[in-house]
Amino acid sequence: EAGVAQSPRYKIVEKRQSVAFWCNPISGHATLYWYQQILGQGPKLLIQFQNNGVVDDSQLPKDRFSAERLKGVDSTLKIQPAKLEDSAVYLCASSSSWGGNQPQHFGDGTRLSIL
Amino acid sequence: DQQVKQNSPSLSVQEGRISILNCDYTNSMFDYFLWYKKYPAEGPTFLISISSIKDKNEDGRFTVFLNKSAKHLSLHIVPSQPGDSAVYFCAAIAGAGSYQLTFGKGTKLSVIP
């Protein structure tokens, strides 16, 4: 079974620029998550999709962050404009359904550095 | 406000001995707990979980214990192996709402050969 695919692995942008990340979940997984992991911290959920609908985006800074999952499969996360505090690893995860007993499977993440 | 706390940033254990990683939580709505393991430059990998209706769950060398009254859980690894060296994250889910995973900051385990 192929895992969660994310690209790019690394991204360096200057502050105030825009940046986008892509995620392809495990085939058949209906639930997709985007997390932000700042150095020394645990991952923090930004947004959760069930198919192509948003379940929870309460911690997404909506003034600069946006995410979509148009066809209920792959997803993109965008930051515009980027700020220095956005430097982090952005992790995508998927699960077969929505519930505590369905472990989330993570991709290897995109490491973002803001200059 | 840290709802899931891993108070030990690091732990060193000799190969073959027991590793005990601890986790405390403050939110009494949490009803499902998970441990993830993370190697450098990789995403977290699910290790083991436990429901709040249980006090123990075992999977091979890994056992998770839950003490609800103390709001404390622990992960035991016996025997520890060098390949277990990684960062271990404790995570919790509150059943109501979005089933959002709340992570601790992680504990870096080093197993010394």
Q: List pLDDT tens digits, range A17-35.
A: 999 999 999 999 999 999 9
CA distances to A36, A69, B46, B103, B108 from B90, rounded to whole Å, are 16, 28, 10, 6, 12
Residue B89: closest C-alpha in chain A: A42
Chain B touched by A91 (CB under 8 Å): yes
Mean pLDDT (whole number) for B26-44: 93
User: pLDDT class for A97, splitting at 50, 70, 90?
Assistant: confident
Check whether A71 has a pLDDT greater than 90.
no
Residues of B in contact with A46 (CB under 8 A): none
Contact: A106, B99; criterion CB under 8 Å: no
Find residue A106's DSSP bridge partners.
A93
Task: Give the strand pairing for A44-50 and A105-106.
Answer: unpaired
Chain B touched by A39 (CB under 8 Å): no
Residue B90: closest C-alpha in chain A: A42
CA B79 from centroid of its chain's CA atoms: 16
User: pLDDT class for B67, splitting at 50, 70, 90?
Assistant: very high
What's residue A26's pLDDT?
94
Chain A touched by B103 (CB under 8 Å): yes
Residues of A in contact with B103 (CB under 8 A): 42-44
CA distances to A22, A45, A49 from A92, rounded to whole Å, are 9, 10, 11
Residues of B in contact with A48 (CB under 8 A): 98, 100
